[in-house]
Chain A
């Protein structure tokens, strides 16, 4: 039953990860919701415990000890307040989960770039990992597709294809590949594999016939591409969440109990992160990019003009996938970010050492510089993949005028734009636990190359999943905590877009803040850091050919947010290029010095 938001004053939220269950306590203090305590305990979903609730109880017990507020009953369940005056228990308990590999899905569609891509977008947006995408034009022969389907062990399958009133033959053929292949679900034979059909409504009878009696649990929802001009992902995403709860979670050890404890549906962790970013983007009317870099994968989330996209770069990470990052980016690309005397052989040795001992963290200054260089490339590659995925719909009729004769742009343009980006949020070990905030800001700028004015922030304890679920129950509480406790503001980056010429100015600038002011000219390839405190009033006059958001050469005057780092002026131009050899090393060292990345 939905709780009355006005009666919610104390919230306990947990996020059950693969290794750690994190719990936070949110309390209403002087009318404002704040995150007051945080605790964690090992996740207990695997043997010998095989009960996720044990880890939840342990983490909430630690929370209870830290806060001095009783939150756990003697039987290990979460204690609820029985009256607003009670000083024990909580009003709301919510949880997310990515334990046991999270939600793993296979998607299928008729054309890879159209309905199959929409199906992938729906699955990723719901917080799933997409194991494979089957399409009629994926250049695999039917027997190869069947073989692949048999190899995978997904939690559920999403099938799309055909616009309403459109193709029925191809989408039925897809179903006819999947049904006889009988993909085995991850959670064993007793479990009927859920199939969600979100394709052409005319194909429903044929789909029902194909899956009848085959040990599948078929759910039919609205078409996610009713016309090629419109994408309608909501019903498919909601059904994925429902199936995740009813089938996947119910078959995971202890989750049936956890579901009964929670006051809101348990969500996949990435889905909850996506929800909070969408809520922030909508609430503040801004465009947001969020990134979570882990050991094996990197998740990138974006909300541009209200369109939400998420990608999982499965082979880009800082420990298990570090070798793949170096192979994909190339050693010279990694090495360009190293200002120390380090050759390729040494870099290879460090990569191999990290492969052998993936969970180690840097112990020396050189190791830290190396790891942050790799992270720049991992983030850059993940962002490139994200930009390629987060596009306008393909297969849509274009409207032209005679004026378009020499500028006919293709459909499917990327929605992600460095200039339109307002807020960049970082999370994940290498970003959150960098010894200096300046290093986090520098990694973000080098990898994402924001243009114009962009705020930089980090979610140091990865609280966004908790807040994503909280936003579904109590949006104001989620916003309060997000602004005050979740995000650590790093500062603002001002980066004129354009091609700099060595020795020539890029822009003139002036800034006024509480207790100080400064002005100057930013030269090509120069970086500058201003410690401006909370806020500053900045005026920027870009040179001809450079743009900070109002057009080439047009001045901009606006208030910017500072933070732990401050205001960063980036005169390196876009797109960013670092010269090879000694000159590049000298420049990178100069940037590191300007941003005070390694003051010791």
Chain B
């Protein structure tokens, strides 16, 4: 007997995923269209993003630099991308105030993206001369080598404001504790749940998970981006409701008479 395989465009086992994806996309597109038509959603104030000016102002008054750490992952990580978005805002404000901004990075691609972002922000702020590429520099790919450099820079330069925006692991507390010790205003943002408690405890403001990803839409205020946020939120709410309903129905099924009479997997084993 000869065994053969038939090509298929559709895996029927994953049909549900396709439906969810299509529904989510439809939701986002509909929200974007609604936002363009004038129904722009409002986002609650995010203290961490509102405090950017305060932090840059502090650095200006104290005549000290600002330190921006965009995490230790590469550009393929969405947290790094979100971090670069916030960097653009920080750079724009720093350019306006003529404050010094230091951005040590641990990946070469991130350095290039950060330079372009900061240069664009300086141009937009009307201060092209403020941009200095030497202040955005590559340190090392090594996690603790990079953390050691950042901690040393804090001890030497005593920045008045520190931003940690991106993907962090064990180095998060090393950075945040050093920043706290030198009396800097610290604003952190990450979606790494394991690192969030450290940032919350040692930083002035922390962007938590979704807040961090919403930063781009929040800072730009563009209807398209705000509409996207609403579309995502609606999709998430529907999925959450489906989950709750599923759990509820599964629970009922466990306690239903016909199910109760069936032997459990453990019992049969």
Contact = CB atoms under 8 A, between A and B. Distances in A.
Main secondary structure of the interface of B (DSSP, over half): helix
Contacts of A137: 57, 60, 96-97
A228 B61 contact: yes
Nearest to A404: B200
A113 B200 contact: no
| Residue of B64, B184, B196, B204 ringed by the most chain A CB atoms within 10 A | B204
Interface size class of B (residues with CB under 8 A): 20 to 34
Which residue, B57, B96, B98, has most C-beta atoms of chain A within 10 A? B57
A464 to B, nearest CB: 35
A111 B60 contact: yes
B47 A408 contact: yes
A258 B201 CA distance: 60
A206 to B, nearest CB: 13
Contact of A162 (B55, B61, B184): B61
B58 A114 contact: yes
Interface string B158-185: 0000000000000000000000000111
Interface in B60-75: 60-64
Interface stretch (A269-277, A338-346, A409-417, A454-462): A409-417
Contact of B47 (A115, A136, A163, A409): A409
B132 interface: no
B202 interface: yes
Given A110-B61, A137-B96, A395-B58, A405 B205 contact: no
B62 A163 contact: yes
B208 A405 contact: yes
A397 interface: yes
Interface string B184-219: 110000000000110011111110100000000000
A166 B63 contact: yes
A350 interface: no
Interface in B119-146: none
Contacts of B45: 410
Nearest to A139: B96
B233 interface: no
Contacts of B64: 166
Interface in B18-63: 45, 47-48, 50-51, 53-55, 57-58, 60-63
B61 A395 contact: yes
Contact of B204 (A398, A401, A412): A398
A61 to B, nearest CB: 54
A395 B205 CA distance: 13
A58 to B, nearest CB: 50
B205 A114 contact: no
Nearest to B196: A405
B165 to A, nearest CB: 16
A170 B200 contact: no
A111 B60 CA distance: 8
Given A111-B97, A405-B196, A408-B206, A394 B57 contact: yes
A397 B47 CA distance: 14
B200 A397 contact: no
A286 to B, nearest CB: 31
A298 interface: no
Given A170-B98, A408-B47, A113 B62 contact: no
Interface string A220-238: 0000010010000000000
A448 B254 CA distance: 60
Interface in A382-402: 394-395, 397-398, 400-402
Interface residues of A, number: 33
A394 B60 contact: no
B61 to A, nearest CB: 5
A161 interface: yes
A476 interface: no
Nearest to B46: A408
A397 B206 CA distance: 13
A167 B63 contact: yes
Contacts of B184: 397
B204 A397 contact: yes
A408 B208 CA distance: 11
Interface string A123-149: 000000000000011000000000000
Contact of A400 (B58, B97, B204): B204
A137 B97 CA distance: 6
Given A137-B96, A397-B183, A228 B50 contact: no
A168 interface: yes
A167 B97 CA distance: 12
A162 B48 CA distance: 24
Given A115-B61, A161-B61, A408-B206, A402 B185 contact: no
A113 B57 contact: yes
A411 B183 contact: no
Of A114, A398, A408, the most chain B CB neighbours within 10 A belong to A408
A203 to B, nearest CB: 10
A113 B183 contact: no
A167 B61 contact: yes
Nearest to B184: A397
Contact of A111 (B51, B61, B197): B61
A410 B62 contact: no
Nearest to B50: A410
A504 interface: no
A228 B201 CA distance: 22
A169 interface: yes
A362 B205 CA distance: 53
A166 B204 contact: no
B124 to A, nearest CB: 14
Contacts of B206: 405, 408
Given A166-B61, A167-B60, A394 B47 contact: no
Contacts of A406: 208
Contacts of B51: 410-411
Given A110-B60, A166-B64, A412-B54, A395 B48 contact: no
Interface in A46-82: none
Contact of A163 (B55, B61, B203, B208): B61
A229 to B, nearest CB: 9
B57 A169 contact: no
Nearest to A141: B126
Interface string A91-131: 00000000000000000001101110000000000000000
A228 B183 CA distance: 11
Contacts of A408: 47-48, 204-206
B47 A395 contact: no
Contacts of B53: 113
Given A170-B98, A395-B55, A402-B197, 14 more contacts: A110-B60, A111-B60, A114-B57, A115-B61, A137-B96, A163-B61, A163-B62, A165-B63, A166-B63, A167-B60, A397-B183, A398-B204, A400-B202, A410-B51
Interface of B: 45, 47-48, 50-51, 53-55, 57-58, 60-64, 96-98, 183-185, 196-197, 200-206, 208
- By Cβ-Cβ distance, the 3 closest A-B pairs, closest first, are A167-B63, A395-B58, A111-B57
27 contacts: A111-B97, A137-B96, A165-B63, A166-B61, A166-B62, A166-B64, A170-B98, A225-B61, A228-B58, A394-B57, A395-B55, A395-B58, A395-B185, A397-B184, A397-B185, A397-B204, A400-B201, A400-B202, A401-B201, A404-B200, A405-B196, A406-B208, A408-B48, A408-B204, A411-B51, A411-B54, A411-B204
